[in-house]
């Protein structure tokens, strides 16, 4: 059962938790527009001695770029506060490849990347060479059997790629014919939040799916609702999930992640993806799997969050 946050239960939530984790797009901002109450809430949480982390599935920016964006919007953030799939994928893949029997300490592994420049920068920063970023369209006279593959590819990584094409899907799936080549996906979100009710903005899941279908392989998913990014916070900063709250706008990523990790979940219901109506529908579901989607708490917006916090 989900409960609307009020003065009493918010005060208890604040007393019982040390770490406050926030999804970004749809909770703190829309595109480049800060949402009301977001900056004030996070600054006040920090002034009360709480740890604040920004956790996003979006792979189009590096940690440094996200920190700069937060600061430009007036959000209190340092690079160490950012947990994004581009950086997390790079750390995970670096560990995975360095533990492979095919590599030695001096080698610089090469991967095929269906992604973007920010994801490439994070991978390059941990010593991984990338190929595949940028346009690779179907040219006139294209023959699939004539595609030349790189024999040195050690992994395939798929993230957000505005240049996704048939050729890229073909190459990624072909590299994945080798069962020893890992298949990594930054996330499988269906869509990005949109300011227009008439527009659907396809997410990274729409790029991962054709590679998955063509290859017959299941990817290792880095982002929410998988737990790898929270595992990183536990290892790096000693985060205790039992003393943590995750605030997000998606039930099938943010709230499911919170429950898988043992955190409390707050769903913001008017500025992002899911609404109070969605909570009610899922709460009535007879499917046991849907129980993990229901947040402990919900509120309309970060503006309400700030008002409750100021009174706590």
Which are the catalytic amino acids?
A: 23, 25
Three-state SS sequence of the chain: CCEECCHHHHHHHHHHCCEEEECCECCCEECCEECCCHHHHHHHHHHCCCEEEEEECCCCCCHHHHHHHHHHHCCCCCHHHEEEHHHHHHHHHHHHHHCCCCCCCCCCCEEEEECCHHHHHHHHHCCCEEECCCCCCCCCCCCHHHCCCCCCEEEEEECCCCCCCHHHHHHHHHHCCCCCCCEEECCCCCEECCCCCCCCEECCHHHHHHHHHHHCCCCEECCCCCCHHHHHHHHHHCCCHHHEEEEECCHHHHHHHHHHHCCEEEEECCCCCCCHHHHHHHHCCCCHHHHHHCCCEEECCHHHHHHHHHHC
CA 42, 43, 49, 51 dihedral sign is: positive
Q: How far apart are CA 166 and CA 154, in angstroms?
A: 21
Which among 294, 292, 270 is positioned nearest to 281, based on CA atoms?
Answer: 294
Q: CB atoms < 10 A from the CB of 152, how many?
A: 11
């Amino acid at each position: 059962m989900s409960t609307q946050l009020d003065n009493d239960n918010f005060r208890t939530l604040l007393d019982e938790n040390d770490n406050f984790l926030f999804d970004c797009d749809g909770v703190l901002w829309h595109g480049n527009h800060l949402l009301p109450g977001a900056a004030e809430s996070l600054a006040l949480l920090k002034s009360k001695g709480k740890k604040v982390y920004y956790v996003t599935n979006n792979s189009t920016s590096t940690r440094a770029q996200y920190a700069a964006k937060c600061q430009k919007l007036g959000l209190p953030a340092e690079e160490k506060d950012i947990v994004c799939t581009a950086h997390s994928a790079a750390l995970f893949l670096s560990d995975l490849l360095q533990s492979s029997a095919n590599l030695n300490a001096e080698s610089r592994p090469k991967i095929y990347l269906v992604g973007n420049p920010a994801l490439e920068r994070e991978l390059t920063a941990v010593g991984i060479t990338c190929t595949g970023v940028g346009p690779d369209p179907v040219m006139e006279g294209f023959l699939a059997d004539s595609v030349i593959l790189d024999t040195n590819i050690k992994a395939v990584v798929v993230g957000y790629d505005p240049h996704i094409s048939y050729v890229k899907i073909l190459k990624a799936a072909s590299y994945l014919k080798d069962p020893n080549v890992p298949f990594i996906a930054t996330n499988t979100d269906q869509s990005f939040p949109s300011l227009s009710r008439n527009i659907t903005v396809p997410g990274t899941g729409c790029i991962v799916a054709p590679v998955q279908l063509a290859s017959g392989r299941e990817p290792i998913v880095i982002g929410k609702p998988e737990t790898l990014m929270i595992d990183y916070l536990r290892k790096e900063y000693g985060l205790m999930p039992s003393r943590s709250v995750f605030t997000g706008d998606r039930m099938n990523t943010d709230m499911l992640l919170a429950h898988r990790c043992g955190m409390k979940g707050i769903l913001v219901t008017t500025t992002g993806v899911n609404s109070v109506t969605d909570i009610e529908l899922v709460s009535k579901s007879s499917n046991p799997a849907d129980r993990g989607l229901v947040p402990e708490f919900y509120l309309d917006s970060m503006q309400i969050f700030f008002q409750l916090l100021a009174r706590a």
